[in-house]
Amino acid sequence: MTRNIYRYPLDVTGTAQSNYVTGEEHAIGVAPNRAIAPTYGAFFDESVQIVDLNTLATLNRNQFQFQNLHTEATSLTGMAVWAIVVIIDPNVSPNVSLTYQALGGEHGMPLAAIANQIQTLSTDARTVAFSNITDKPSTYTPVLHMHAIGDTYDWDYVVTALEMCLNAVQLAEASTYDTTLAYIDAQVAMRNADIATFLQQLNTHIANYNNPHQTTLAQVDVFATTTVQSLIAQEAASRLAEDTTLTNEIVAHATDYSNPHKDTAANIGGYTSEEADANLTAISTALNTTLTADAATMAAHVANDDNPHQVTADQIDGMSTAEINAAISAAITPIATQLSTDEASMNAHIANTENPHELTLAQIGAWDSADIATVQSEINAHIANTSNPHQDTAALVGTLTSTQITTAIANNYVTPAESSYLTPQTSSFNAHAANTNNPHGVTPAQLGGWTYAQWQAAVAAQVAALSW
């Protein structure tokens, strides 16, 4: 028969340097469940170290777990010996390296059953892992099921009894048979007594709520009540101090009217004083130009006596030229003859240059050459007078006074700007300064802290580690 040659010798101490395997690389893919059967078989629990080859980070116990406890090896060594490593963190890369203490000997190579289980785990397409199911019961009621006898152990005493029964039957000796039966009865009685004793002890142990295992706070990695209260008090005091500091900073920010955000006129959609002055000057200039042009147009319109509005005779209840001519003709016809006679007499009278009426300048109120010269002098003086001799006003010439123009600019450009833009912007800024609901979207990470979700995740991870 060929003797099996093992890579590593059997080491029940779990400390032999010869059985320490380092840097064993495995490609585990990206499936939801990724299992590893170490190349050299069963391994000791506490010796395992796994490194993510992409990040070179060492995995913690929350990122992997063990399966297939090797009961025979565990019983032999007194330490947990496993056959499979399962990666449960989906963020671990597809390539890892494994370091472990191999048990060695006949347990130094993976079994076919382990390979089958790895294949089953690798093809598991379930979206939720059993470990992630919440509200699972801590224990499960067993149901009737079968086990292969080869999967169990500690049947030595049964084999002995069966051999005695076989010998008794084969020898057919009454004394031996009776002895065998007596031995069986004694063994049954002893086992029943042991079972009853164990059951009583087990029930007593189960009903014992006074920490029968003398578990310490350090063993379950928790704090004492006084320590927890002290830590809570410290955290509360620290949080209160930080809240007070933050409140003071918020109040200081809210009452800071010296532009704490360093806003500029451009940022808030406004003008600087220089830009506002320049714009107002441009507006005033354009307005004066427009008013001057309008005044000139109005003056030209007022001076236009060529009927600029195209008024008709009918519109002013008058008569056209033809109608007037016709009416005149009709009126003239009766007196035409008399007019001709009178015209002849008048012409003769007019042609008389001998002053038939003996009129004098005083009688007809006429001026002599001296009076005419005086009037001409006064007319010339009036024409040369540029001091507004007729006392014309801006309203008479269709324009505005300088005071009215200044007031119009203030009413139409300064006050409306303040009402429609500057005042609302000031109110909005004051509301922002008084806003204590984190208007800038500051995150806990910017303040060096955690979000509530991150805190919960960290606590859950610690709880999971403790439970495991």
Contact partners, residue 35, CB within 8 Å, separation at least 6:
28, 67, 84, 85, 86, 87, 117, 118, 121, 122
Q: How many CB atoms are closer than 10 A to CB 452?
A: 8
Same domain, 235 and 202: no
Distance of alpha carbon 54 from alpha carbon 76, whole angstroms: 38
228 HSE (CA, 13 A, CB side) = 6
Mean local confidence (pLDDT), 371-393? 82
Distance of alpha carbon 96 from alpha carbon 52, whole angstroms: 5
User: Which of 41-50, 81-90, 350-359, 449-458 is least confident?
Assistant: 449-458
Mean local confidence (pLDDT), 276-286? 86
Distance of alpha carbon 245 from alpha carbon 232, whole angstroms: 19
The dihedral of CA 432, 434, 437, 443: what is its sign? positive
Among candidate residues 79, 78, 51, the one with its CA nearest the CA of residue 64: 51
Q: Are 103 and 41 in contact (CB under 8 A)?
A: yes
Number of structural domains (the chain) is: 4
Residue 415 tokens, joined = 């006050």
Same domain, 398 and 285: yes
Q: By residue range, what is the domain housing residue 275?
A: 265-294+393-436
Same domain, 289 and 402: yes
Same domain, 41 and 104: yes
Among candidate residues 113, 75, 95, the one with its CA nearest the CA of residue 24: 95
pLDDT tens track for 4-38? 445 788 999 999 998 999 999 999 888 777 888 89
The whole-number pLDDT of residue 3 equals 41
What one-character DSSP code corresponds to residue 60?
Answer: P
Residue 313 tokens, joined = 């005779």
| pTM passes above 0.75 | no
Same domain, 194 and 108: no
Same domain, 125 and 188: no
Same domain, 407 and 274: yes
Confirm whether 119 is domain-assigned. Answer: yes
Same domain, 398 and 284: yes
- Among the three residues 196, 231, 255, which one is the final residue of a domain in this structure? 255
User: Tokens 């000796």, residue?
Assistant: 173
Q: Are 108 and 83 in contact (CB under 8 A)?
A: no
Same domain, 288 and 417: yes
Same domain, 270 and 398: yes
Same domain, 42 and 102: yes
Distance of alpha carbon 380 from alpha carbon 117, whole angstroms: 129
Residue 152 tokens, joined = 């169990």
Instruction: Quickly state the pLDDT bin for 238 (edges 50, 70, 90).
Output: confident
Contact partners, residue 326, CB within 8 Å, separation at least 6:
none
* CATH code for position 48: 2.60.40
Distance of alpha carbon 402 from alpha carbon 320, whole angstroms: 46
User: Tokens 């585990």, residue?
Assistant: 28
Phi, psi of 319 (to 5 degrees): -120, 150
Percentage of the chain modeled with pLDDT above 90:
13
Q: Are 102 and 37 in contact (CB under 8 A)?
A: no
Confirm whether 309 is domain-assigned. Answer: no
Instruction: Quickly state the pLDDT bin for 92 (edges 50, 70, 90).
Output: very high
Strands 20-27 and 95-101: antiparallel
